[in-house]
Structure 1
Amino acid sequence: MSNRRRPALVNIYRSEFLRSRAWFARRDRWFRDQSTRGIPLECAACGQPADKHHLELHHLDYTGMSSTNGRWLALEAHEDLMPLHPYCHDLLHRLIDRDPVLSENRTRRDATHLALRRLRPKLQPADGSTR
């Protein structure tokens, strides 16, 4: 098991899946579902409120993502996606990629939650208020 990003897979994921109609439809559906549930949008790392145009979705699991005959499917469960500001998302991936325990010895979901526990105190104001 490894969470370390592999260049070939990252390129396909970024150049194809994240630009696919399937992903844009799934992303829109995730934000719509979040709104329907009455859950305010905020970054899972820094806790700051944001709208969908300022958030990216981090995959906790890739099981709903697949390609069949060159056509992408984005069937991720709602709870397998997590909203993050682009900066916070990048920090999360850097932390996971650089820590051998997180990148090689934990599931992606566990690695994400452990990395977020490290990042949150550094990204959120000490008094718990929003910036």
Structure 2
Amino acid sequence: MSNHRKPTAGNGYRAQFLRSPAWFARRERWFRKQERLGGPLACAACDRPASKHELELHHLDYAGVSLAADGSWRAFEPHADLLPLHPYCHELLHRLIDRDIVLSRHRSRRAASEFALQRVRDKLTAHQGMP
């Protein structure tokens, strides 16, 4: 198992799923539920408020993602398995996972993401405190 991000070419998840109607519908359902829960939208890394158009969703687990026999994608991830992140914060999270051999190969995706997210938060907090 690897958490290392694979190139888009030849990667069905990145090349197909993240562009599929199933993913866009799931993304909309996530934001509608978040709105019903009453919490303000904010990036899970930098904690800055944002609109749904300014945020991407990071998968902590792919258990709800599947490819049906007819070639269509299914997106039934639990709400808590998706984290809202600004694109910049999302990229930082993936860079940490991709560059750290322990995170990219020896931990579950959830554990690697949670560890990397805390590191991104720490770095962003430290950077904000600098003059």
TM-score w.r.t. structure 1 length?
0.90
In the TM superposition, residue 46 of structure 1 has moved relative to its aligned partner by 0.8
Deviation at 1:81, TM superposition (A): 0.2
- Rounded to whole Å, the distance in 1 between the matches of 2:6 and 2:121 is 26
Distance 1:2 1:9 in 2: 17
- Residue 50 of structure 1: aligned partner: 50
Q: CA deviation at 1:58?
A: 0.1
Aligned position for 2:27: 27
Is 1:126 the counterpart of 2:125? The answer is no
Match of 2:59, as an amino acid? H
Which amino acid is the alignment partner of residue 14 of structure 1?
A: R
Report if aligned partners of 2:8, 2:14 keep a CA contact under 8 Å in 1. no
Q: Percent identity?
A: 63
Cα distance in 1 for partners of 2:82, 2:103 equals 18
1:82 maps to 83
Alpha-carbon distance in 1 for matches of 2:8, 2:34: 32
Alpha carbons of structure 1 residues 59 and 122: separation in structure 2 relative to 1, 3 Å: same
**Equivalent position of 2:65 in the other structure:** 65
Letter in 2 for 1:23: W
Deviation for aligned residue 1:7: 3.4
Where 1:7 maps in the other structure, the secondary structure is coil
How far did 1:8 drift? Answer: 6.6
- The whole-number CA distance in structure 2 between the counterparts of 1:39 and 1:103 is 31
Query: How well do the aligned residues superpose, as a CA RMSD in angstroms?
Result: 1.7
Q: Deviations over 1:30-83 (max 9, x none)?
A: 000001001111111111110000000000000100111211100000000000
* Unmatched segments (≥5 aa) in structure 2: none
Q: What TM-score, normalized by structure 2, do the two folds share?
A: 0.90
Structure 1 residues 87, 8: closer, same or farther in 2, change over 3 A?
Answer: closer
Consecutive unaligned residues in structure 1, runs of 5 or more:
none
2:114 alignment partner in structure 1 = 113
Work out the CA distance in 1 between the residues paired with 2:86 and 2:66: 25
Q: Give SS of 1:48's match.
A: coil
